């Protein structure tokens, strides 16, 4: 009788070996850290949001004996400063920050790992710097297109989470609900502090309650913390109003087809991902033949769902085997 092998689980917790701060503009200073083996395969792991900040759990997708792991908090969030700042905060600023960090730590090439918005930024970096990209491991593909934003932030996902959706739209008067993105943007960038934090809580909890296939009961605690939600909601809304700072809805997909044709990748996506529906990952896999798509049948959007963890760690273990004896920082 054939048995499916047990699913992989996260590597045990381990601490960063060193950390620092890097000034990347007159305004912004980013926090970064390094962990794992200093002679391992370099990898940069990109958090979601934008505005989500990195977490120690992100290290656990990588074997600390075989990887040299870099995390950083993107502009305006986490331990980077100034907090919740929108000025000089675009996709292309973040791509430049990744290059500044790569140069700062003395890495020639690295694997790029990211989920949700982290997948967007990973792809933007990959098409801009393919010569610096060993490969891409991506989860929950999101390209910041108008249909994707409309699906989640206007009304599409409400059909699956009507209870959470009612809580999401509560701060917005009925006469403004025909364009929720702009209604939230006005409040999140306005001068009324109380209105801003109420909008931030509603925006962030909507995402927090829909991350997992299990629904609102598994909302991560930080989605209820005012300091976190302020940066998360403001920066996300800023990026989405500006369509990710891409030239068009299809620009990133078109660039992937041109620039990633020789770069290997793994795409992991939950079948029941409500935040970033599977159709986007499917389109990316067709445009990028060197990417291997894994559809997890019992998962939503969260990186912590067992099937997602299993496929991501299979991917990082695979790349460690491929590059472990070849790559030197």
Q: Which of 47, 185, 294, 301 is catalytic?
A: 301
Is 175 annotated as catalytic? no
Are 314 and 111 in contact, with CB atoms under 8 Å apart? no
Q: Could you tell me if 242 and 248 are in contact, meaning their C-beta atoms sit under 8 angstroms apart? A: no
Query: Per DSSP, what are the bridge partners of residue 30?
Result: 22
Select which of 63, 73, 97, 273 is catalytic: 273
Catalytic pick among 35, 80, 84, 116:
116
Nearest Cα to 141, choosing from 16, 10, 278? 278
Residues whose CB is less than 8 angstroms from the CB of residue 34 and which lie 6 or more positions away in sequence, other chains included: 16, 17, 18, 19, 68, 69, 70, 105
Distance from C-alpha of 161 to C-alpha of 114, rounded to nearest angstrom: 26
Confirm whether 164 is a catalytic residue: no
Q: Is 18 exposed, middle or buried (0-12, 13-18, 19+ CB in 10 A)?
A: exposed
| Burial (CB count within 10 angstroms: exposed 0-12, middle 13-18, buried 19+), residue 162 | exposed
Calculate ∠ Cα 40-45-50, nearest 5°. Answer: 170
**Neighbouring C-alpha atoms within 13 Å toward the C-beta of 255:** 18
Residue 25 CB neighbours (<10 A) = 15
Respond yes or no: is residue 301 known to be catalytic.
yes
- Token readout for 217 is 């009961």
For helices 180-188 and 146-153, the axis angle rounded to 10 degrees is 80
- HSE-CB at 266 with a 13 A cutoff on CA atoms is 20
99 to 102, 114, 139, 284: CA distances (angstroms): 5, 16, 22, 24
Residues marked as catalytic: 116, 273, 301
């Amino acid at each position: 009788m054939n048995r499916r092998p047990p699913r992989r689980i996260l590597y045990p917790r381990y601490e960063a070996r060193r950390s620092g701060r890097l000034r990347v503009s007159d305004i912004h200073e980013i926090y970064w850290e390094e962990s794992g083996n200093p002679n391992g395969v370099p990898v940069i792991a990109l958090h979601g949001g934008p505005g989500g900040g990195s977490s120690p759990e992100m290290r656990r997708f990588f074997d600390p004996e075989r990887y040299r792991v870099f995390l950083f908090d993107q502009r305006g969030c986490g331990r980077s400063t100034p907090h919740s700042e929108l000025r000089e905060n675009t996709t292309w600023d973040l791509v430049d920050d990744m290059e500044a960090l790569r140069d700062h730590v003395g890495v020639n090439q690295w694997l790029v790992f990211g989920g949700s918005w982290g997948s967007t930024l990973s792809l933007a970096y990959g098409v801009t710097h393919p010569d610096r990209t060993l490969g891409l491991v991506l989860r929950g593909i999101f390209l910041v297109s108008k249909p994707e934003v409309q699906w989640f932030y206007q009304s599409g996902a409400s059909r699956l989470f009507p209870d959470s959706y009612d809580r999401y739209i509560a701060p917005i008067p009925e006469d403004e609900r025909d364009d929720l993105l702009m209604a939230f943007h006005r409040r999140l960038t306005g001068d009324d502090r109380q209105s801003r934090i109420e909008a931030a809580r509603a925006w962030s909890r909507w995402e927090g309650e829909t991350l997992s296939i299990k629904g609102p009961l598994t909302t991560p605690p930080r989605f209820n913390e005012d300091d976190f939600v302020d940066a998360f909601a403001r920066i996300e809304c800023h990026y989405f109003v500006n369509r990710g700072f891409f030239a068009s809805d299809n620009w990133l997909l078109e660039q992937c087809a041109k620039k990633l044709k020789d770069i290997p990748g793994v795409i992991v996506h939950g079948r029941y991902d409500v935040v970033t529906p599977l159709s986007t990952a499917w389109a990316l896999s067709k445009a990028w033949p060197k990417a291997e798509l894994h559809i997890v049948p019992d998962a939503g959007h969260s990186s912590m769902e067992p099937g997602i963890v299993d496929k991501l760690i299979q991917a990082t273990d695979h790349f460690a085997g491929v590059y472990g004896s070849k790559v030197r920082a």
